[in-house]
Amino acid sequence: MKFKSMVAVPVTAVLVVTTTMPTMAATDVEKQAHAEKIIYSSQNVLEEILSDPKTQIPSELLEQSEGIAIFPGVIQAGFLFGARRGTGVMMLRQEDGTWSNPAFINITGGSFGLQIGAKSSDIVLVFPNRSTVNEVLSKSFDIGGSVSGTAGPVGATAVDPTEDYSKSPILTYARSSGLFGGVAIDGSKLGFNKGKNRDLYGKSITPRRIFRDPDVEAPVVVDSLRQVLEESELGTFSRF
């Protein structure tokens, strides 16, 4: 009996490697990390301001406010006259009195400063009434003209009991070169940053949903910022 010889034919396994998904995932993680860094920086600005009674935004104002926007490290270019741009976070008061998740918002406009030559400033905007908040939500918002920013009172006991701050559209604060105080920032424009909102929440999402939907998931760093804000309006915040 004759046997046919068997020849082993090697099977070549072809491994197709695609770097598309891992690269996208890595990029998404980096973008989210950068968005979280802005939140952390905003929290740090608020903590530093509230830690000193001489620079503290009065707790009575925060308790009565309908919204707050914090812009860490707004870059200013030019001497006396120039331009500025920064990205920060905005949070709104909910119907139950708690604070919403943050939405990212940009500030752009002409120059300002507490001290000539300052390269960057931290800016805090306090919104005492809901009507101004609704205007910010409805469109790209200009500070100036009929809706101007007013320099807010500074200090733990700076609130004037005879003044109705709820009639002020926006109370403005800025810190640069170690100085802090209320300033006028008319000529600035506010507009929500859709890209940063998408980076943080992992999907395209509107500011209205961020503010109003309690089921929107957010990173843990958001809870930390919210806690600082809640403690500050109660006058119980302590950094140490």
Does residue 150 belong to any structural domain of this protein?
yes
Give the residue ranges of the chain where pLDDT is below 70: 1-26, 76-83, 110-119, 140, 144-149, 151, 156-163, 177-186, 240
pLDDT of residue 16: 44
pTM score of the predicted model: 0.80
pLDDT of residue 235: 81
Per-residue model confidence as pLDDT tens digits over 91-108: 999 989 999 999 999 988
pLDDT of residue 224: 94
Q: Which two tokens stand for residue 81?
A: 């006259």
pLDDT of residue 93: 94
Per-residue model confidence as pLDDT tens digits over 55-95: 788 888 898 899 999 999 887 665 555 567 889 999 999 98
Does residue 5 belong to any structural domain of this protein?
no
Does residue 46 belong to any structural domain of this protein?
yes
pLDDT of residue 105: 95
Does residue 4 belong to any structural domain of this protein?
no
pLDDT of residue 142: 74
Q: How many domains, the chain?
A: 1
Domain housing 33: 25-234
Does residue 98 belong to any structural domain of this protein?
yes
CB 150 within 8 A of CB 168: yes
Does residue 189 belong to any structural domain of this protein?
yes
pLDDT of residue 18: 44
Does residue 72 belong to any structural domain of this protein?
yes
- In the numeric block, the tokens 């998404």 are attached to 28
Does residue 47 belong to any structural domain of this protein?
yes
